[in-house]
Amino acid sequence: MSDFTLKAESRSDIGKGASRRLRRLADKIPAIVYGGKEDAKSITLEHDEINNMLDDEAAYSSIINLVIDGETEEVLIKDLQRHPFKLKLLHVDFKRIVRGENMEANVPLHFINEDKAPGKKEGGVMSHQLTTVEISCRPRNLPEYIEVDLGEMNIGDSIHLSEITLPEGVELVAFMHGDVEDNDLTVANMVPPAVEEVEDDADEVDETEVPASEQKGDEGDSEEKNED
Residue 14 has pLDDT above 80, yes or no: no
In angstroms, the CA 65 to CA 8 distance is 10
In angstroms, the CA 46 to CA 5 distance is 12
Residue 161 has pLDDT above 70, yes or no: yes
Residue 39 has pLDDT above 70, yes or no: yes
* pLDDT, averaged across the chain: 84
CB-based burial label for 209 (10 Å; 0-12, 13-18, 19+): exposed
pLDDT band at 227 (very low <50, low <70, confident <90, very high): very low
Q: What is the pTM of this model?
A: 0.74
- Please write down the HEC assignment for all residues of 77-112: EEEEEECCCCCCEEEEEEEECCCCCCEEEEEEEEEE
| Contact of 59 with 2, CB cutoff 8 Å | yes
Predicted pLDDT at 31: 92
Quote the percentage of the chain above a pLDDT of 70. Answer: 78
Domains of the chain, earliest start first? 1-98 (2.40.240.10), 99-196 (2.170.120.20)
* pLDDT tens profile 59-118: 999 999 999 999 999 999 999 999 888 888 989 999 999 999 999 999 999 999 999 999
pLDDT band at 190 (very low <50, low <70, confident <90, very high): very high
Residue 213 has pLDDT above 90, yes or no: no
CA distances from 210 to 114, 217, 220 (A): 55, 11, 15
pLDDT band at 131 (very low <50, low <70, confident <90, very high): very high
Bridge partners of 76, per DSSP, are 95
Mean predicted confidence (pLDDT) in 159-173: 95
In angstroms, the CA 133 to CA 123 distance is 28
HSE, CB side, 13 Å, CA atoms: give it for residue 111.
20
Question: At residue 59, what are phi and psi to the nearest 5 degrees?
Answer: -65, -25
Predicted pLDDT at 149: 97
The residue among 44, 50, 106, 45 whose CA lies nearest residue 76 is 106
162: which residues sit within 8 A by CB, 6+ positions away? 175, 180, 184
* pLDDT tens profile 135-153: 999 999 999 999 999 999 9
Residue 193 has pLDDT above 70, yes or no: yes
